[in-house]
Structures are given as C-alpha cells and as structure tokens.
Amino acid sequence: MKRAVTRVVVAGAGGKMGQTLIEAVRADSSLVLTAVLDVRRSPAVGTNIGGVKVGSDAAKAISAGDVLIDFTRPEGTIEHLDICARLGKSIVIGTTGFPDSLKKAILQAGRRIPIAMSPNFAVGVNALFKLAEVAAGILGDDFDVEIVEAHHRNKVDAPSGTALKLGEVVASALKRDLKKEARHGRVGDTGVRPLRQIGFHAIRGGDIVGEHTVIFAGAGERVELTIRSQSRMTYALGALRAVKFLRGKRAGLYDMNDVLGLK
C-alpha cells in the first residue's frame, strides 16, 4: 500500500530559517515540497530554491499544498493564516512576537482549520519547558527566577518567544501572574529584588542560533537549566513532526505538547 504524502508549502523562502525548512522537507520521503513563497520585495522571488521557483502570490502558493509552514513575521503570518482558513489548509506557525490582537485572530482561525503553533519547535527546547515546570514546582517561592536568552544580531524581537514561554511555564507552576511579575532587564538603582519577580534578559550578537537558560537562585544553591541550539535544523525537524501530527486532525489550535504527547 502506497504511503500518503503530504504536500508542503514554505513561507519566507529567502531567509535562513526558510531555506533550512526547505532542506528538511526535501529530505523527508513522506513530504513533497509543492510551493515556496516570500514577500514581493525579497530578492529570492523568481529564483529557484529546492527545485521550486519562489513566488510572491501567497494564495496561489498555499492552494498548491496541504499545509503551510510559516516562520516569518507576525503581519505576514496573519495574512497567510487568513488564506489558509479560507482555503481549508493546515498551518504550522513558528513566528513569534505576536501582539495580543493578532493572537486572538489565531484562536479564531483555530475554530476553522488545524493549527500547530509553538514559540520553538525544537524537541530539546520543549523538553526544557517540561523540566522548568517540574523544577519550579519543586523549588517553589524560595528560589528567585531569572531567564537569560541569546540570539543572532538580526533577531528583531526581544525577549524571544521561547524565553517568554519559559516565563509562562514557570509562572503557571508557581501560580503567579507573569504580566505583573515580569521584569525586563535592570538599570540604575533598582532596589531590593521583589520575591515573586521573574527576570528576563536578552543578548543579541553575532550568529548565535539560540541559547536559553532558566536560573533558579536560592540560598546556598543555584539550579540552572540550559539549552543551546547549534543548528536551525532542530527547529525545522520539530516543525516537520508538527506537519505530520496535523494529518487528518480536526480544526483546533495545537502546540508541541500535543505533537510530542506530553499532555
């Protein structure tokens, strides 16, 4: 019996992440790359990447596949999401930095089509989310929490979506309101650190792919959980797991806990 093949479309084809996704899709025999797209002003438009010509007509590209993988920018992702919803196509979203207004649009689209969304699709990072949750539950309020992340100089949002997700996971385990307790960087006379505060610190430089550390600092001991991503391929392979997870799924908003069976 012939195995079903999923037709995949990749957005942001001219970027480093887009090209990594294309490479991963082409290497997987259960997937076929049917279209790639980028914004009209991109120099990649009209060129050939992964054996497919890069287009700028999002509706035409998305209609050629079963699922779109989108690791681009919030405004572009929402435009693509609207097209997916209209055409009944699934979407894997790795874009970060969405304002609350656009997050609502994603929730609404999840009532119409299957969506897999995560701030980080790397399997190791999702293991870190789970470990941070467990550690926070064990250590409790006796340990101060600081989250440090580092990325390449071209990353435009800070803190990273992964760092914010770590903060959400820890805050939930500690029964804290992250919006009230988050502190982004420190400068000047900051006074004594509030006990329930969760600190965030963003480093930008060079070609750092991605590093995240959760620090639990207590009296006389410190627990640090760190993940260092050495290749964008880790994100791409996790995204492909999400693509396969969405096969035959009903409409809904899924995350990597669903994909990895951690719920």
pLDDT digits 0-9 by tens, 199-219: 999 999 999 999 999 999 999
Q: Which of the four pLDDT bands, split at 50, 70 and 90, describes residue 262? A: confident
Catalytic pick from 16, 155, 244, 249?
A: 155
- Nearest C-alpha neighbor of 214 from the set 171, 248, 243, 251: 171
Does residue 80 carry a catalytic annotation?
Answer: no
Can you read off the two tokens belonging to residue 72? 């681009």
Domains 6-117+232-259 and 123-229 share a fold: no
Quote the CA–CA distance of 2 and 9 in Å, as a whole number.
Answer: 22
Kindly report, residue by residue over 171-209, the tens digit of the pLDDT: 999 999 999 999 999 999 999 999 999 999 999 999 999
Residue 102's SS3 state is helix
In CATH, what number does 123-229 get? 3.30.360.10
174: Cα within 13 Å, side-chain hemisphere: 25
In this prediction, residue 4 carries a pLDDT of 75
pTM of the model: 0.83
Does residue 152 carry a catalytic annotation?
Answer: no
Contact 58, 79 (CB under 8 A): yes
Catalytic pick from 151, 165, 201, 212?
A: 151
Overall CATH class of domain 6-117+232-259 = alpha beta
Q: Where are the domains of the chain?
A: 6-117+232-259, 123-229
